[in-house]
Chain A
Amino acid sequence: GQSLEQPSEVTAVEGAIVQINCTYQTSGFYGLSWYQQHDGGAPTFLSYNALDGLEETGRFSSFLSRSDSYGYLLLQELQMKDSASYFCAVHGSSNTGKLIFGQGTTLQVKP
Protein backbone atom coordinates (compact mmCIF):
# COMPACT_ATOMS: atom_id res chain seq x y z
CA GLY A 1 0.00 0.00 0.00
CA GLN A 2 0.89 3.64 -0.06
CA SER A 3 0.92 5.79 3.04
CA LEU A 4 2.16 9.10 4.34
CA GLU A 5 2.38 9.85 8.05
CA GLN A 6 2.41 13.32 9.55
CA PRO A 7 1.29 14.60 12.96
CA SER A 8 -2.34 15.63 13.12
CA GLU A 9 -1.82 18.76 15.20
CA VAL A 10 1.02 21.06 16.26
CA THR A 11 0.85 24.13 18.48
CA ALA A 12 3.51 26.83 18.76
CA VAL A 13 3.85 30.46 19.83
CA GLU A 14 4.46 33.49 17.68
CA GLY A 15 8.12 33.95 16.80
CA ALA A 16 9.00 30.33 17.44
CA ILE A 17 10.26 27.65 15.07
CA VAL A 18 8.22 24.54 14.28
CA GLN A 19 9.06 21.40 12.33
CA ILE A 20 6.40 19.21 10.71
CA ASN A 21 7.63 15.74 9.84
CA CYS A 22 6.44 13.45 7.06
CA THR A 23 7.36 9.81 6.51
CA TYR A 24 6.18 7.94 3.46
CA GLN A 25 5.84 4.47 2.01
CA THR A 26 4.95 4.54 -1.67
CA SER A 27 5.49 2.30 -4.66
CA GLY A 28 7.14 5.10 -6.66
CA PHE A 29 8.90 8.26 -5.57
CA TYR A 30 10.07 11.23 -7.58
CA GLY A 31 9.71 14.03 -5.07
CA LEU A 32 8.03 15.45 -1.99
CA SER A 33 5.89 18.56 -1.92
CA TRP A 34 4.36 20.67 0.83
CA TYR A 35 1.08 22.59 0.64
CA GLN A 36 -0.56 25.07 2.97
CA GLN A 37 -4.31 25.39 3.33
CA HIS A 38 -6.19 27.96 5.36
CA ASP A 39 -9.71 27.20 6.56
CA GLY A 40 -12.15 27.44 3.68
CA GLY A 41 -9.39 28.01 1.15
CA ALA A 42 -7.58 26.08 -1.54
CA PRO A 43 -4.25 24.32 -0.99
CA THR A 44 -1.32 26.49 -2.02
CA PHE A 45 2.11 25.23 -3.03
CA LEU A 46 5.01 25.82 -0.64
CA SER A 47 7.90 23.67 -1.83
CA TYR A 48 9.12 20.70 -3.84
CA ASN A 49 12.13 18.52 -3.05
CA ALA A 50 13.35 16.10 -5.70
CA LEU A 51 16.86 15.77 -4.29
CA ASP A 52 18.15 15.11 -0.79
CA GLY A 53 18.84 18.16 1.29
CA LEU A 54 17.36 21.43 2.41
CA GLU A 55 15.49 23.92 0.24
CA GLU A 56 14.91 27.38 1.71
CA THR A 57 12.26 29.87 0.67
CA GLY A 58 12.05 32.82 3.02
CA ARG A 59 10.80 31.75 6.45
CA PHE A 60 9.96 28.25 5.19
CA SER A 61 12.42 25.43 4.51
CA SER A 62 11.84 21.86 3.39
CA PHE A 63 14.10 18.87 3.78
CA LEU A 64 14.20 15.47 2.11
CA SER A 65 16.08 12.26 2.84
CA ARG A 66 15.22 9.69 0.19
CA SER A 67 17.16 6.92 1.92
CA ASP A 68 15.07 7.41 5.09
CA SER A 69 11.77 8.03 3.22
CA TYR A 70 11.46 11.16 5.34
CA GLY A 71 11.00 14.85 4.95
CA TYR A 72 10.07 17.86 7.00
CA LEU A 73 8.79 21.39 6.69
CA LEU A 74 10.46 23.98 8.91
CA LEU A 75 8.65 27.22 9.66
CA GLN A 76 10.65 29.98 11.31
CA GLU A 77 9.63 33.26 12.96
CA LEU A 78 6.07 32.02 13.22
CA GLN A 79 3.30 34.51 12.61
CA MET A 80 -0.40 34.26 13.44
CA LYS A 81 -1.17 34.01 9.73
CA ASP A 82 0.79 30.73 9.60
CA SER A 83 -2.09 29.04 11.44
CA ALA A 84 -3.31 26.61 8.79
CA SER A 85 -3.17 22.98 7.70
CA TYR A 86 0.01 21.70 6.10
CA PHE A 87 0.07 18.69 3.79
CA CYS A 88 2.99 16.66 2.54
CA ALA A 89 2.47 14.97 -0.81
CA VAL A 90 4.50 12.39 -2.71
CA HIS A 91 5.00 12.55 -6.47
CA GLY A 92 4.80 8.89 -7.45
CA SER A 93 5.51 9.42 -11.13
CA SER A 94 7.99 11.60 -12.97
CA ASN A 95 5.63 12.92 -15.64
CA THR A 96 1.97 12.48 -14.69
CA GLY A 97 2.25 14.72 -11.65
CA LYS A 98 -0.06 12.48 -9.66
CA LEU A 99 0.13 13.32 -5.97
CA ILE A 100 -0.53 11.20 -2.90
CA PHE A 101 -1.36 13.46 0.02
CA GLY A 102 -0.88 12.96 3.72
CA GLN A 103 -3.84 13.69 5.96
CA GLY A 104 -2.48 17.05 7.00
CA THR A 105 -1.11 18.74 10.10
CA THR A 106 -3.10 21.53 11.71
CA LEU A 107 -0.75 24.21 13.01
CA GLN A 108 -2.08 26.59 15.64
CA VAL A 109 0.05 29.63 16.36
CA LYS A 110 -0.66 31.31 19.68
CA PRO A 111 0.27 34.85 20.72
Chain B
Amino acid sequence: DAGITQSPRHKVTETGTPVTLRCHQTENHRYMYWYRQDPGHGLRLIHYSYGVKDTDKGEVSDGYSVSRSKTEDFLLTLESATSSQTSVYFCAIKRSQGLLYNEQFFGPGTRLTVL
Protein backbone atom coordinates (compact mmCIF):
# COMPACT_ATOMS: atom_id res chain seq x y z
CA ASP B 1 0.00 0.00 0.00
CA ALA B 2 2.30 2.74 -1.30
CA GLY B 3 -0.19 5.67 -1.19
CA ILE B 4 1.79 7.53 -3.83
CA THR B 5 3.95 6.29 -6.66
CA GLN B 6 6.10 8.36 -8.97
CA SER B 7 7.38 7.41 -12.40
CA PRO B 8 9.98 7.29 -13.63
CA ARG B 9 12.19 7.11 -10.54
CA HIS B 10 15.28 8.15 -12.48
CA LYS B 11 15.61 9.90 -15.81
CA VAL B 12 18.45 11.36 -17.83
CA THR B 13 17.51 13.61 -20.72
CA GLU B 14 19.02 16.21 -22.98
CA THR B 15 18.56 19.96 -22.98
CA GLY B 16 15.58 21.06 -25.05
CA THR B 17 13.59 17.84 -24.82
CA PRO B 18 10.16 17.69 -23.18
CA VAL B 19 9.85 15.53 -20.07
CA THR B 20 6.75 14.36 -18.21
CA LEU B 21 6.79 13.04 -14.67
CA ARG B 22 3.83 11.15 -13.29
CA CYS B 23 2.41 11.04 -9.79
CA HIS B 24 -0.25 8.49 -8.94
CA GLN B 25 -2.17 8.31 -5.64
CA THR B 26 -4.42 5.57 -4.35
CA GLU B 27 -6.01 7.58 -1.51
CA ASN B 28 -8.48 9.82 -3.39
CA HIS B 29 -7.19 13.07 -1.90
CA ARG B 30 -8.22 16.37 -3.41
CA TYR B 31 -4.94 18.24 -3.04
CA MET B 32 -1.72 17.21 -4.79
CA TYR B 33 1.61 19.03 -5.03
CA TRP B 34 4.83 19.00 -7.03
CA TYR B 35 8.07 20.12 -5.34
CA ARG B 36 11.67 20.24 -6.40
CA GLN B 37 14.56 19.79 -3.99
CA ASP B 38 18.03 21.16 -4.61
CA PRO B 39 21.01 21.36 -2.27
CA GLY B 40 20.81 24.53 -0.22
CA HIS B 41 17.21 25.27 -1.17
CA GLY B 42 15.09 22.81 0.75
CA LEU B 43 11.85 21.95 -1.00
CA ARG B 44 10.17 24.48 -3.26
CA LEU B 45 6.63 24.25 -4.56
CA ILE B 46 6.28 24.15 -8.35
CA HIS B 47 2.54 23.69 -8.88
CA TYR B 48 -0.35 22.26 -6.96
CA SER B 49 -3.83 20.96 -7.70
CA TYR B 50 -7.01 21.32 -5.70
CA GLY B 51 -9.15 19.04 -7.86
CA VAL B 52 -9.58 17.59 -11.32
CA LYS B 53 -8.56 20.24 -13.86
CA ASP B 54 -7.94 22.75 -11.03
CA THR B 55 -4.31 23.76 -10.69
CA ASP B 56 -2.31 26.76 -9.56
CA LYS B 57 1.27 27.97 -9.54
CA GLY B 58 3.75 27.68 -6.74
CA GLU B 59 6.91 29.69 -6.12
CA VAL B 60 9.05 28.19 -8.92
CA SER B 61 6.60 27.46 -11.74
CA ASP B 62 8.47 28.96 -14.72
CA GLY B 63 9.31 26.29 -17.30
CA TYR B 64 6.82 23.79 -15.85
CA SER B 65 3.22 22.90 -16.58
CA VAL B 66 0.87 20.45 -14.90
CA SER B 67 -2.30 18.58 -15.67
CA ARG B 68 -4.81 16.64 -13.65
CA SER B 69 -7.45 14.81 -15.66
CA LYS B 70 -8.23 12.24 -12.96
CA THR B 71 -8.20 12.49 -9.17
CA GLU B 72 -5.46 9.91 -8.90
CA ASP B 73 -2.98 11.31 -11.43
CA PHE B 74 -1.01 14.57 -11.40
CA LEU B 75 1.45 15.12 -14.25
CA LEU B 76 4.38 17.53 -14.29
CA THR B 77 5.78 18.54 -17.69
CA LEU B 78 9.04 20.29 -18.40
CA GLU B 79 8.23 21.83 -21.74
CA SER B 80 11.86 22.19 -22.85
CA ALA B 81 14.24 20.83 -20.24
CA THR B 82 17.23 22.93 -19.17
CA SER B 83 20.22 22.01 -17.02
CA SER B 84 18.85 24.23 -14.22
CA GLN B 85 15.94 21.79 -13.93
CA THR B 86 18.27 18.98 -12.87
CA SER B 87 16.81 18.17 -9.47
CA VAL B 88 14.90 15.69 -7.37
CA TYR B 89 11.15 16.04 -7.84
CA PHE B 90 8.70 15.04 -5.15
CA CYS B 91 4.96 14.67 -5.40
CA ALA B 92 2.81 14.96 -2.29
CA ILE B 93 -0.80 14.62 -1.19
CA LYS B 94 -2.53 16.46 1.62
CA ARG B 95 -3.90 14.37 4.42
CA SER B 96 -5.77 16.53 6.92
CA GLN B 97 -8.40 16.13 9.59
CA GLY B 98 -10.03 19.31 10.85
CA LEU B 99 -7.88 22.27 11.76
CA LEU B 100 -5.39 20.52 14.03
CA TYR B 101 -3.95 17.84 11.75
CA ASN B 102 -2.36 18.75 8.46
CA GLU B 103 0.09 16.34 6.85
CA GLN B 104 1.65 16.22 3.43
CA PHE B 105 2.57 12.67 2.46
CA PHE B 106 5.38 12.49 -0.07
CA GLY B 107 6.09 10.08 -2.88
CA PRO B 108 9.52 8.45 -3.28
CA GLY B 109 10.82 11.11 -5.68
CA THR B 110 12.15 11.25 -9.23
CA ARG B 111 15.79 12.08 -9.84
CA LEU B 112 16.04 14.03 -13.10
CA THR B 113 19.30 14.88 -14.82
CA VAL B 114 19.31 17.23 -17.80
CA LEU B 115 22.53 17.09 -19.81
Among candidates B33, B45, B99, residue contacting A50 with C-beta atoms closer than 8 Å: B99
Interface of B: prevailing SS:
strand
Task: Kindly provide the distance from the CB of B44 to the nearest chain A CB, expressed in whole angstroms.
Answer: 7
Given contacts A33-B102, A44-B106, contact A103 B96 (CB under 8 A): no
Instruction: Tell me which of A31, A42, A50, A97 has the highest count of chain B C-beta atoms within 10 A of its own C-beta.
Output: A97
Bin the interface of chain A by size: 20 to 34
A-B contact count (CB 8 A): 60
Indicate whether B115 reaches chain A with its CB closer than 8 angstroms: no
Bin the interface of chain B by size: 20 to 34
How far is it, in angstroms, between the C-alpha of A44 and the C-alpha of B105 when the chains are bound?
7
Using a CB–CB cutoff of 8 Å, the interface residues on chain B facing chain A are 31, 33, 40-45, 48, 50, 56, 58-59, 90, 94, 96, 99-109
Q: Closest 7 A-B residue pairs measured CB to CB? A: A97-B94, A101-B42, A42-B106, A45-B103, A103-B42, A101-B43, A48-B102
Using a CB–CB cutoff of 8 Å, the interface residues on chain A facing chain B are 31, 33, 41-45, 48, 50-51, 87, 89, 91, 94, 96-104
Q: 7 interchain pairs (CB within 8 A)?
A: A48-B103, A91-B102, A97-B31, A97-B102, A97-B104, A98-B48, A99-B45
